[in-house]
Amino acid sequence: MLRRHRIATMALAIGLSALPALAATDRPAPTPSAQQLLLKSRASEWRRPDPDNLLVMQLRTGRVLIELAADFAPLHAANIRTLAREHYFDGLAIVRVQDNFVTQWGDPASDDGGDPGKLRPLGKASRTLPPEYTRPFDPKLPWTALPDGDPYAPEVGFSEGFPVARNPASGQEWLVHCYGMVGAGRDIAPDSGNGSELSAVIGQAPRRLDRNLAVIGRVIEGMPLLSGLPRGPGPMGFYADPAQRITIESVRLASALPATRRPAVEVLRTDSATFAALIEAQRNRHDAFYAVPAGRTDLCSIDVPTREVPADGRSP
Amino acid sequence: MLRRHRIATMALAIGLSALPALAATDRPAPTPSAQQLLLKSRASEWRRPDPDNLLVMQLRTGRVLIELAADFAPLHAANIRTLAREHYFDGLAIVRVQDNFVTQWGDPASDDGGDPGKLRPLGKASRTLPPEYTRPFDPKLPWTALPDGDPYAPEVGFSEGFPVARNPASGQEWLVHCYGMVGAGRDIAPDSGNGSELSAVIGQAPRRLDRNLAVIGRVIEGMPLLSGLPRGPGPMGFYADPAQRITIESVRLASALPATRRPAVEVLRTDSATFAALIEAQRNRHDAFYAVPAGRTDLCSIDVPTREVPADGRSP
């Protein structure tokens, strides 16, 4: 929303550079920017995703990294690992981009007339899976609560890097369909999903899907490659013309790649002090540009940062 | 999230066709789909936007329609009308697409070194405007309240087709930065916006901007032309390479177009019975696919429908 020709003020407003506190006498120092907070983070606040939970999806335009939420959807994670090991996704495609909803990929033969005989075989992967829409609350998992309420759930926060809602009354918790979260497509039957068709949220969080679909992970790098695509013309956003589909060159588990080709990325721990500071900065942002801090945040407006690790393996 | 090769079940789940109620004995009839509800709407529940409040932005790829929120940002609306009448925007460009945030358009000279002398003159339009971030609550404006709470504001709902928050304690109300809402760019000074640079929300609602920026209207048609663009490479999403910019062919008020070229669109009244039914269907969606209705909604998950009117002027 800022104009760019005021470079100095822009840097002040969005905090791209470390700036001294304003000398104003009657207002607090500006809220630190995300970048400022991350620069002060400690190495121990970052984690390398387990390479068995890290999917590397290669498109012609670049790399999409998806971290599997193995503690929330363990059976789906295991099935997707099997599919990746079988190179199931190689040569399949992004088949649907529905504005303000999802980008979906899988077997294009699903769209071409419905002949099950034309579908790519799932190999050793299961054709059906228990739903895994919710899971019993596990007090051993880390929990970073958000304090501002949520229209949909009694409690929301972060656990193991993922946005989570939970209901103490039912004893259940579940992954939330925030921007960048990945869900497993299914037919009507709750057990008809198997992870062979996936979709990432590219718009306002479609919370009505919570507890109705298995969320299997989160895109931790490469969202623009999924979100910045032409929308499909129909009401559900399918690419009516097969030529519009975007081919998936390959999907591999990071653990199946040679060490030199494994993504060197770290994710900020959501139970770290720096993540807590990021939440507070988002809630109470006040600086030269933001005169009125919201004082609040919603779950899906909090981004969990990822960073590249230099090739020498040391943190930046 | 649904696979497409089950066409029959897909139609059932998303309600693309009118289907008889399920014969199940122990569950209620499926929630009607948006399309089903809209087919039953009455002509009087739709309105033609005032042609003096309807901007027609022509891109090579198609037409984007923006309805100005003249009751919420009257000075910005008037200034934008002046700019459109002067053909100010013709030949300017989309200069920024930041993932999960905004698509922004305006004078590319703002990005090219900051020489104010190179900026296109604003003509008779004002260079500065009062902020218009909030307005005093007006009980004469229609109000459709949402019942499920909001993390950011005491009350949220719809007024005159726009998502609105309000605070009875302060007596203020304001437009909310939902998907598709359009804001006026500014520098640091609150009065430095003038409507010559605009941006539309293309991701999770950035509610931290509420009350910090003048929201001037809503994209009522053509969002995919703004959201389905490659993201700019930098942290703020500016197109570093000028060749990436997307030229704006023209921006006109509908009132300035010959009658035959005026957009024939209608917007569902947000104080209509059909809109209330859409909200309820969104809150309590239950059908073969949605086994667990959310029972709730958030403001920015409610879409205000637009439809084309046939050339003969009669409603479809």
Residue B149 has pLDDT above 60, yes or no: yes
CA neighbours within 13 Å on the CB side: how many for B205?
Answer: 25
**Residue-level pLDDT at A13:** 37
How near does any CA of chain B get to the CA of A227, in Å? 7
B197 Cβ contact partners less than 8 Å away, ≥ 6 residues apart: A3, B104, B105, B106, B107, B110, B184, B185
CA neighbours within 13 Å on the CB side: how many for A129?
Answer: 25
Are A231 and B62 contacting, i.e. CB atoms less than 8 angstroms apart?
no
Beta-carbon separation of A1 and B102 below 8 A: yes
Are A251 and A90 contacting, i.e. CB atoms less than 8 angstroms apart?
yes
H/E segment holding residue A254 = none
Contact residues, chain A, for B3 at CB < 8 Å: 106, 110, 185-187, 197
Angle at B18 between CA B17 and CA B21, to 5 degrees: 130
Are A68 and A77 contacting, i.e. CB atoms less than 8 angstroms apart?
yes
pLDDT, tens digit (0-9, with 9 covering 90-100), for A101-144: 999 999 999 876 666 778 999 999 999 999 999 999 999 999 99
Contact residues, chain A, for B231 at CB < 8 Å: 224, 227-228
Beta-carbon separation of A106 and B3 below 8 A: yes
B23 Cβ contact partners less than 8 Å away, ≥ 6 residues apart: none
Beta strands in A107-258 (DSSP E): 135-136, 144-145, 155-159, 162-167, 172-175, 181-184, 198-201, 215-221, 246-253
Angle at A67 between CA A256 and CA A173, to 5 degrees: 135
Beta-carbon separation of A301 and B106 below 8 A: no
Residue B6 has pLDDT above 50, yes or no: no
Beta-carbon separation of B6 and A294 below 8 A: no
Are A249 and A90 contacting, i.e. CB atoms less than 8 angstroms apart?
yes
CA neighbor of A175 nearest in space, from A206, A204, A148: A206
**For the residues of B26-57, what is the DSSP string, one character each?**
SSPPPPPPHHHHHHT--GGGEEPPPGGGEEEE
Are B215 and B174 contacting, i.e. CB atoms less than 8 angstroms apart?
yes
Which whole number is the average pLDDT over B183-210? Answer: 96
Interface probe with A: pick from B3, B278, B307, most Cβ of A within 10 Å? B3
**Residue-level pLDDT at A112:** 67
* Distance separating alpha carbons of residues B173 and B122, to the nearest angstrom: 30
Are B1 and A109 contacting, i.e. CB atoms less than 8 angstroms apart?
no
**For the residues of A55-107, what is the DSSP string, one character each?**
EEEEETTEEEEEEE-TTTSHHHHHHHHHHHHTTTTTT-EEEEE-TTSEEEEE-
pLDDT bucket at B111, cuts 50 / 70 / 90? confident
How near does any CA of chain A get to the CA of B188, in Å? 5
Structure token pair of residue A268? 């900020």
**Residue-level pLDDT at B112:** 67
Order of strands, sheet of B162-167, starting from the edge strand that comes earlier in the sequence: B135-136, B172-175, B162-167, B155-159, B144-145
* Identity at B301, one-letter amino acid code: S
Beta-carbon separation of B224 and A188 below 8 A: no
* Distance separating alpha carbons of residues A293 and A282, to the nearest angstrom: 9
Residue B21 has pLDDT above 50, yes or no: no
**Residue-level pLDDT at A235:** 80
Sign of the Cα torsion A237, A242, B15, A189 reads negative
CA neighbor of A188 nearest in space, from A152, A212, A171, A223: A212
* Distance separating alpha carbons of residues B55 and B220, to the nearest angstrom: 10
Beta-carbon separation of B294 and A6 below 8 A: no
Structure token pair of residue B289? 């696919």
A313 Cβ contact partners less than 8 Å away, ≥ 6 residues apart: A264
How near does any CA of chain B get to the CA of A82, in Å? 20
Strands A215-221 and A62-68: antiparallel
Residue B153 has pLDDT above 80, yes or no: yes
Contact residues, chain A, for B199 at CB < 8 Å: 1
Contact residues, chain A, for B118 at CB < 8 Å: none
What count of other Cβ atoms lies within 10 Å of the Cβ of residue B103? 28
* Distance separating alpha carbons of residues A150 and A75, to the nearest angstrom: 29
Order of strands, sheet of A144-145, starting from the edge strand that comes earlier in the sequence: A135-136, A172-175, A162-167, A155-159, A144-145
Beta-carbon separation of A238 and B6 below 8 A: no
Coil, helix or strand at residue A51 = helix
* Distance separating alpha carbons of residues B76 and B82, to the nearest angstrom: 10
Are A164 and A158 contacting, i.e. CB atoms less than 8 angstroms apart?
yes
Long-range CB contacts for residues A31-37, cutoff 8 Å, separation at least 24:
A31/A281, A31/A284, A31/A285, A31/A286, A31/A287, A31/A290, A31/A293, A32/A277, A32/A281, A33/A281, A34/A278, A34/A281, A34/A303, A34/A305, A37/A274, A37/A277, A37/A278, A37/A281
Contact residues, chain A, for B285 at CB < 8 Å: 208
How near does any CA of chain A get to the CA of B34, in Å? 12
Q: Determine whether B88 is exposed, middle or buried from the number of CB atoms within 10 Å of its CB (0-12, 13-18, 19+).
A: buried
The closest CB to that of A3, out of B187, B202, B285, belongs to B187
C-alpha distance across the termini of chain A, in Å: 30
DSSP structure class, residue A209: G
CA neighbours within 13 Å on the CB side: how many for A113?
Answer: 4
Q: For residues A259-270, b (16+ Cβ closer than 10 Å) or e, as one string?
A: eeebbebbbbbb
Are A263 and A54 contacting, i.e. CB atoms less than 8 angstroms apart?
yes
How near does any CA of chain B get to the CA of A61, in Å? 11
Residue B89 has pLDDT above 60, yes or no: yes
**Residue-level pLDDT at A234:** 80
* Distance separating alpha carbons of residues A4 and A151, to the nearest angstrom: 36
Which whole number is the average pLDDT over B159-186? Answer: 97
How near does any CA of chain A get to the CA of B117, in Å? 12
Structure token pair of residue B37? 């509800």
How near does any CA of chain B get to the CA of A4, in Å? 5
Beta-carbon separation of B298 and A207 below 8 A: yes
- Which positions of chain A have pLDDT values less than 70? 1-28, 112-115, 310-316
Among the ranges A287-291, B21-25, B270-274, which has the highest mean pLDDT value?
B270-274
Angle at A41 between CA A38 and CA A43, to 5 degrees: 125
Q: What whole-number percentage of chain B has pLDDT above 90?
A: 81
Beta-carbon separation of A208 and B12 below 8 A: no
pLDDT bucket at B61, cuts 50 / 70 / 90? very high
DSSP structure class, residue B260: G
Beta-carbon separation of A14 and B152 below 8 A: no
Enter the pTM of the model. 0.92
pLDDT, tens digit (0-9, with 9 covering 90-100), for B211-244: 999 999 999 999 999 999 999 997 799 998 999 9
Considering only alpha carbons, which residue of chain B is nearest residue A104?
Answer: B1
